[in-house]
Amino acid sequence: MSALVIRNRLFSRRLPRRVLVVNLALFAALVLVLSSGLFGGTYGIGFGDVVASLTGQADEVTWMVVTQNRLPRLLTALGVGIAFGLAGEMVQTLLRNPLASPDVIGFSAGAGLGAVITVAATGTTAFVLSGALMGGAVTALFLLALTWRRDLSPGMLVLMGIGLGVTLGVVTDLLMTRLDANNVGELVKWIVGSLSARSWSDVGLIWVGLAVIAPICVWHQFALARVSLPDEVARGLGLGLLKARLVTLILAVVLVGLAVAAAGPLPFVAFVAGPIAHGLSGVPRPTLFPAAMVGGLVTLLADRAAQALPGFLVLPAGIFTALIGAPVQIWVLIHQTKRRLQ
């Protein structure tokens, strides 16, 4: 496996060629899916129409479709997918277990409940982000407290997290039944996740968040690649394990909070992105760039599937990410149990 060496005064990396090829291929796939989402569909739109809409010279219908419907929807889906992909890859790598992704261990459910509570309490969606962040953070803290005495053992974290996630889901359901019908329509988004009727405020939320958090994740990848070694080895190499673990979890909570606030939990995006990226690139985890792009792809494709249904059957995109993710989770569970029994 030959590798490309990039080396200058500021920066040096050894990049296996396969990783490079996988990154380029995923990027090309993203461009393809994005442009098919922008130009395809029932209302035909050409490249010229998009330029015209952005410069304010298109007719009103075209302008509506491009700037008020398709662009915000695609950009939200892409951003949310990237956020889930990054969060999943980081937590799975940290805990050395593919089951330990933020949506499986309850972070997403906590963020969703936080969002629902703020909407129910304030009657507006203005404070959804803080609600989602708080919900995710409280869930993470609770999980840390429950597993602290076992040194945050990954197996324990996964078990506790799954239980916690189910409990939080029940609480969310209970809250929904107590709300009046007007609010419920808007709140459904935070139970399964949906990308329909996204606005530019959702786009702004997720992309400004990514602009701040993603560079920190890329910087943190160096430490993360080493905390995933056995503890004794990592500490021997001079790594502060506790700090690296906390930074990873905080970054994941913020990413999940942002994504949930913008589009709801979208089950299993965080869970499938990392393993697919790892399988493609063939290098030890974390592989943040491919995982982010796979997250974006899965979300965009799930949303395409949701839109492809006949008009009378409107289902949120979260249903489709769950349809992709649930079989994968079952497979991982069977695989892990088998290995442990042997």
Partner 1 sequence: MTTRLKTEDHTVGYGGAPVLQGVSLDFGDTEATAIVGPNACGKSTLLKCLARLIKPQKGAALLDGKPIHRARTGMVARTLALLPQSAETPPGMRVIDLVERGRTPHQNPLQQWSARDETVVRAALDQVGLAAEADRLLADLSGGQRQRALIAMVLAQETQILLLDEPTTFLDLRYQIETLKLVRRLQAERSLTVVIVLHDINLAARFADRIVALRDGQIVCQGRPSEVVTAANINTIYDLPAQVIAGPVDGLPHVIPL
Residues lying near partner 1 in the complex (CB under 8 A): 1, 5-7, 10-14, 96, 219-223, 225-226, 228-230, 232-233, 235-240, 278, 282-285
Nearer Cβ to partner 1 (178/339): 339
Q: What's the rounded Cα separation, in Å, for the pair 46 and 124?
A: 37
Phi/psi-derived region of residue 238, left when phi > 0, alpha when psi is between -120 and 50, beta in every other case = left
CA distances from 160 to 100, 149, 321, 338 (A): 11, 13, 23, 21
Q: What's the rounded Cα separation, in Å, for the pair 161 and 158?
A: 5
Nearer Cβ to partner 1 (15/326): 15
**Least Å distance between CB 286 and partner 1?**
10
**Least Å distance between CB 233 and partner 1?**
5
**Least Å distance between CB 26 and partner 1?**
17
Nearer Cβ to partner 1 (65/223): 223
Nearer Cβ to partner 1 (59/231): 231
Q: What's the rounded Cα separation, in Å, for the pair 15 and 18?
A: 8
**Least Å distance between CB 159 and partner 1?**
21
**Least Å distance between CB 97 and partner 1?**
11
Neighbour count for residue 165 (Cβ, 10 Å): 24
Nearer Cβ to partner 1 (173/231): 231
Nearer Cβ to partner 1 (194/221): 221
One-letter amino acid at 4 equals L
**Coarse DSSP helix, strand, coil percentages of the chain, rounded to the nearest 5 percent:** 75, 5, 20
**Least Å distance between CB 217 and partner 1?**
11
Helix or strand run (H / E) with residue 123? none
Phi/psi-derived region of residue 40, left when phi > 0, alpha when psi is between -120 and 50, beta in every other case = beta
